[in-house]
Structure 1
Amino acid sequence: MNNFIFQTTATIINEPGVTSRLGEIAASLGMHRVLLVSDPGIAKIGLLELAESGLRTGGMEVSVFAEVLADPPVDNIMAALNQAREFNADGVIGFGGGSSMDVAKLIAFLSNSEQGLAEIYGVGIARGKRLPLILVTTTAGTGSEVTPIAIVTTGENEKKGVVSPLLLPDIAILDAELTVGLPPRVTAMTGIDAMVHAIEAYTTRVKKNPISDTLARQGLKLLFENIRAAIANGHDLEARSKMLVGALLAGQAFANAPVGAVHALAYPIGGQYHVAHGLSNSLVLPHVMRFNLPVASREYAELARELFSDLGTTSDLAAGARLIGALEQLMVDVQLETRLNQVGIGKEALPVLAEAAMLQTRLLVNNPRDVGYEDALQIYRDAW
C-alpha cells in the first residue's frame, strides 16, 4: 500500500433545519462579526434571509456580500475582501454553491494574510492562518465544503486554483431543507458533478488511497440511487439529505485523490462557452470513461458492482461498459443535454477546446490513461 495523507473538514453537521442555529455555531468558533458570503440567486429565493436570521438570533453582527458571480473573477473576490476588511470581520461564512464557498475560503484566508491573491495560486503556497470559517452548501454537487480548493477566473477564459489545507473550513453544514427549492435541472447538474468527483477520485493514478476509495464508492452509490427521487420530488428530504451526504463523501474523496481528464476537458467548455460546470462534466464524462476503459476497467467494474447486483461473473470490461451506459441513460432521464452541439459549440471549435484542455496539466497527470492533443480532440468529436 502506498503512503498517503488524508485531510478533511474537522466538523461536519448534517441536520435539516440547522441553519436556524447558525449564530450559535458561529459563536462556538469565537465569531462576533461575520461576513456572510453568497450570490444573488440565493438572495432572490429567500434562503439568505434564513442564514442571516440564524446568525442575528445567535447574537452575531452580520455584513452580507451577496454578489458572488459564477466562476468568480478576481475583481469579484477583491470586492468581497474589501467589504470584509472594512467591516473588520472576525469570521466568514460561505452560504451557497461552489462559487460562494470558494470565495468565502479565499476571504477567510486573505483577510488575515500578508499574501495577495496572485501570490497563492498553486498547491501549498498559501501560508499562515485564516479567520474562522463555516461553509453551508445549498447544492448537492461541488463538495467544496470539504475540499481545500478554490477556483478563480483570472482572465477571459482562464481559471487558476488555490490549493491549501488552510482553505478547509472549521465546520461544514449540510441542511437538506435548504435544497428543497432547487430546480430539477440544477439538481441534475450538481448531482452528476458530484458523481464525476467520485468516479475520478476512484480512478486517479495520483494519491489514490483506501480512505478516498471507500468514500468514493459510497458517495457514488448514494448519489446514483437518490438523484432521480430528488429530481422527481424536490421536497423529498430523505433523498435530498442522501444527495448532500453523497456529494460530501465524493468531495472528501477527490480532495485527497484528485480528479483527471473529465474535469480537464470540461473546464474549456465552461470557460469558453459559459456552460455550467456540472453540465460541462456530464457532456464529456462517458466519452472520457470509454477512453479510459482499457486501463481502468477494474476500477470501473468495482464501481459498477457497487451499483448493480446482477453483474455476477461479468468481465471487468463488460461491467465497466455497463456503468458507462447507465450514466449515459441517467443523463437522458434527468433531461440534460448530451451533445456538445446542443450547447452551442460548433464542430470547428473542437481543436481550440483540445488545445485549451492540454493546458490543464494539473488535472491531466491524474488521469489513469495519458491524454494527448489528438486524444482530447477525438473525445470532443465523440461528444459533439
Structure 2
Amino acid sequence: MHHFEFASAPRIVCKPGASMELAAHCAILGIRRPLLVTDAPLLATGLLDPVIASLEAAGLAAQVFSDVQPDPPEAVVVDCAQQARACGADGVIGFGGGSSLDVAKLIAVMLRSSGVLSDYFGVDQIVGQRAPLVLVPTTAGTGSEVTPISIITTGESTKAGVVSPKLLPDLAVLDAGLTLGLPPAVTAATGIDAMVHAIEAFTSLHRKNAYSDMLAREALSLLSANLVEVVHNGGNREARSHMLLGSMLAGQAFANAPVAAVHALAYPLGGHYHISHGLSNSLVLPHVLRFNAPQAAARYAELLPCIGVAASGDVAADCATFIACIDALIEAVQLPVRLRDLGIAEADLPMLAEDAMQQQRLLVNNPRPVTQDDALSIYRQAY
C-alpha cells in the first residue's frame, strides 16, 4: 500500500488568453490593489501592457514592481516588500520566470507578517498567513508556479531556500501565448531545467511516490517531445503549450519528491558566475546522471520510453541509452556543454565543490551519496 502526502496549488487554469482574465480571479480572491511582480526586460516587451489594462479596466488599482533580477538578492525582496506596503497592496501577482515568481511568493508572505526575510530561511519557518497570491509563468522551466519553494541569493554568491506550503499560490495561470517570444537560448535552458525537475523527482531518495512518478513521467514525455521544436520554431503554439504544461507537471512532481545533486551542483555556478539556473543545471546534468548510474540505473532505464526510445529490457544498456539521449538533446538545442565555455577557471573547481556541499537539503535526496571529492570529480568532467 502506498503512503504519501501530496500538495500543490488548489487551482490551476491552463488555456490560451487566460492571463487576460486575471481581474475575475482577483475578484474571487478579494484582491482590489494587486502588486504585479516582474522584471524590467519583460515589462519592456509590452507583454504585460494588455494585462495591466484589463486589470485597470475592471477597476483594480494595479501597481508594478519590475526590479526583479535573475537569482534575486535579499535587497530586491526587501525593496519590493516596502513598495507593496507603501502602495497598500492587498494581493500579489507574480508574472515572469522563476525569479519573479519566487519574489512574488515572499512578498505575499511579508505583506501579512512583521518578520524579516531571514526569519523564513529553511523549512516550515513561516508563521501566520499570506496575502492572496496568483502566479503566471512566462517561461516553461522552473515550475515555480506550483512549488512551495523560493530561492534567494544571500551575500555575494550563496543561496538560501524558503520552503513552506504557504508559498503555494491560490491560483496558477498557464497561458502559453506568453511564452511565444522567448529567445531560443532561454527556451532551451528553461526546458532542460524542467526536464531535470522531472528526472530528479523520479529518482529522489525521499518522498518519491506513485503520484509524483506519474507526473514526472508525463512531464518528461511532453518536454522531451517538444523542446527541440520550440527552440527552432518558437512560434509553434501547440508545442509551447505542451512545454508549459510539462514544466508545471514537473514542478508538481519535484515539489513533492525533491530534487537532488544536479541542483546542488548547479547553484554555485549561478551564485559565483551568474549563469542562469537552467543552463547551470544543463552543464552538470549528464555528468551527475553518469555518477548516479550505479545506484539509479533501473530508474533511468524506466524513463527511457518517456523520451521516445523503446526499452530493450537490459537495464544497464537502457540506462546508458537514456544518458546518451540527454547528451544528444542538449547538443540539439545548442546549449554550451563545458564549464570552460562560460569563462570558469579550472582553479575554481575546488571552490565550487566546497560550495556544493553546503546544499545538504538537496544532496540528501540524491540516489547516490555525494562527497566533496565526488562533486569535484563531476565538475572536472563538466569542465
Where on the TM-score scale, by shorter chain, does this alignment land: which range? over 0.9
CA contact (8 A) 2:71 2:274 kept: no
CA distances 1:42-96 after superposition (whole Å, capped 9, x unpaired): 1111112132122112321111101111111111111110111011111100000
CA distance in 1, matches of 2:312, 2:346: 41
Match of 2:168 in 1: 168
Checking the alignment, whether the CA contact within 8 Å between 2:37 and 2:66 is kept in structure 1 is: yes
> Could you tell me how far apart the structure 2 residues matched to 1:6 and 1:166 are?
14
Give the CA deviation at 1:23. 1.1
Equivalent residue for 2:380? 381
Is residue 137 of structure 2 the alignment partner of residue 137 of structure 1? yes
Instruction: Work out whether residues 35 and 84 of structure 2, in 8 Å CA contact, stay in contact via their aligned partners in 1.
Output: yes
Q: Which residue of 1 aligns with 2:51?
A: 51
Q: Hey, what's the Cα distance between the residues in 2 that align with 1:36 and 1:4?
A: 35
Q: Distance in 2 between matches of 1:249 and 1:317?
A: 28
Are residue 223 (structure 1) and residue 229 (structure 2) matched?
Answer: no
User: Is 1:317 matched up with 2:316?
Assistant: yes
Tell me how far apart the structure 2 counterparts of residues 249 and 225 of structure 1 sit (CA, whole Å).
15
Query: Which residue in the other structure is 2:3 paired with?
Result: 3
Q: Residue in 1 aligned with 2:347?
A: 348
The within-5 A match list for 1:180-219 is: 180-219=180-219
Structure 2 matches for 1:21-60, cutoff 5 A?
21-60=21-60
Letter in 2 for 1:62: A
Tell me what 1:335 maps to. 334
Q: Hey, what's the Cα distance between the residues in 2 that align with 1:240 and 1:54?
A: 24
SS of 1:28's partner is helix
Deviations 1:233-290 (A, max 9, x none): 1111100000000000000000000000000000011111111110000000000000
Give the superposed CA RMSD.
1.0
For the residue of structure 1 that corresponds to 2:228, the secondary structure is helix
- Using the size of structure 2 for normalisation, the TM-score is 0.98
Asked if 1 retains the 8 angstrom alpha-carbon contact of 2:297 and 2:319, the reply is: yes
Q: Percent identity?
A: 55
1:259-278 matches, cutoff 5 A: 259-278=259-278
Distance 1:335 1:309 in 2: 21
Tell me the amino acid that sits aligned with residue 72 of structure 2: P
Say which SS state the counterpart of residue 95 (structure 1) adopts. strand
Distance 2:81 2:249 in 1: 30
Cα offset for 1:306? 2.4
Tell me which amino acid in the other structure corresponds to 1:321. A
Mind listing any 5+ residue stretches in structure 2 that lack a counterpart?
none
Name the SS for the 2:5 alignment partner.
Answer: coil
Q: 1:124 matched to which residue of 2?
A: 124
Cα contact 1:73–1:154 (8 A) shared by 2: yes
Q: Is the 8 A contact 1:294 1:317 kept in 2?
A: no
TM-score of the aligned structures, taking structure 1 as reference length: 0.98
What is the aligned partner in structure 1 of residue 246 from structure 2? 246
| 2:146 alignment partner in structure 1 | 146
Partner SS for 1:47: coil
Q: Is the 8 A contact 2:266 2:284 kept in 1?
A: yes
Code of the residue aligned with 1:367 in structure 2: it is: N
| CA shift for structure 1 position 17 | 1.2
Matches within 5 A, 1:83-102: 83-102=83-102
**Distance apart, 1:317 and its partner CA:** 1.5
Distance (whole Å) between structure 2 residues aligned to residue 343 and residue 221 of structure 1: 30
Provide the C-alpha distance between the structure 2 equivalents of 1:21 and 1:12, rounded to a whole number of angstroms: 13
| 1:28–1:199 distance in 2 versus 1, CA, 3 Å | same
Runs of 4+ residues deviating >4 angstroms: none
Measured in 2, the distance between the counterparts of 1:161 and 1:293 equals: 28
Matched-pair contact (CA < 8 Å) for 2:304–2:310: no
How far the C-alpha of 1:309 sits from its partner, in A, is: 4.3
Q: Which residue of 2 aligns with 1:13?
A: 13
- In the TM superposition, what is the alpha-carbon distance from 1:2 to its structure 2 partner? 5.5
2:345 and 2:36 mapped to 1: Cα distance?
40
Native 8 Å contact 2:12 2:171 kept in 1: yes
The reply on whether 1:358 has 2:353 as its aligned counterpart is: no
Aligned to 2:300: 300
Shift in Å, 1:310: 2.9
